[in-house]
Structure 1
Amino acid sequence: MMEKIISEMLVEKPVVIFSRSTCCMSHAIKSLISGFGANPTVYELDELPNGQEIEEALVGLGCKPTVPAVFIGQQLVGGANQVMSLQVRNQLGSLLRKAGAIWI
């Protein structure tokens, strides 16, 4: 049920980040992706009434730790480590381009 809600939260959004407003890694990842010129949709789980359920669903999808959970082009990329390794391998920009999050 929650997986369906998460899929609906991803529809037509090239970049979605599930975050916690107090999480410094989430902040770093949001800054990194915004630095490409992308405008990610951010859901702060600690500010959503159903944040706890969403977090449990993210665990079910394999997100550990649960935040930041980054989806690009409706696909789960992973957390901070996965996003950082994409960046280190120079693949984050092209992934964002393919998803339509950035144009350059």
Structure 2
Amino acid sequence: MFYVMKRLLVGIGANPMVYEVDGEEGEAVLADELAAMGDGGLPMQFPVVYVGGRMVGGLEKLMGVHISGELEGMLKDVGGL
């Protein structure tokens, strides 16, 4: 899934910054994100994409914002394109 997500972003002209997390580090990141979402947050899985510090989501959500035309606008707003 990571490869597909990265190829999509590179394909539209973005240069994604990639952070690889695993083991305890991954669990800590996940715990921080769940705490930030509060009780209404959905379970988070890796890989996940952030644009301008805002979590977009996993592959399905990334594809959804790309197909709807929102992704390029989001990237332009934060200087990613």
By the TM > 0.5 criterion, same fold? yes
Q: Which of 60, 72, 75 is 1:81 aligned to?
A: 60
Q: Which whole-Å CA distance do the structure 2 matches of 1:82 and 1:29 have between them?
A: 10
Any idea what the Cα deviations from partners look like across 1:41-71, whole Å, max 9, x if unmatched?
111113x762331133344444645112111
| Residues 63 and 45 (structure 1), Cα distance of their counterparts in 2 relative to 1, 3 Å cut | farther
Secondary structure in structure 1 of the residue aligned to 2:49: strand
Deviation at 1:73, TM superposition (A): 1.2
1:101 to 1:38, Cα distance in 2 relative to 1, 3 A: same
| Residues 40 and 63 of structure 1: CA distance in aligned 2, closer, same or farther (over 3 Å) | farther
Report the residue type matching 1:33 in the other structure: L
Larger mean CA deviation between 80-89 and 53-62 belongs to: 53-62
Structure 1: segments with no counterpart, 5+ residues:
1-24
Looking at structure 2, the residues matched to 80 and 63 of structure 1 have their Cα atoms a distance apart, in angstroms, of 15
Equivalent residue in structure 1 for 2:26, among 35, 51, 55: 51
Q: Deviations over 1:10-47 (max 9, x none)?
A: xxxxxxxxxxxxxxx1211111011122111111113x
Please, what TM-score do these two structures have when normalized by structure 1?
A: 0.62
Q: Distance in 2 between matches of 1:28 and 1:56?
A: 25
Identity among equivalent pairs (%): 31
Bigger helix fraction = 2
**Looking at both structures, which has the greater relative contact order when contacts are Cα pairs under 8 Å and sequence separation is at least 6?**
1
- Higher percent of residues as strand: 1
Gap runs ≥5 in structure 2: none
Residue 37 in 1 paired to residue 13 in 2? yes
How much is the aligned-residue C-alpha RMSD, in angstroms?
2.0
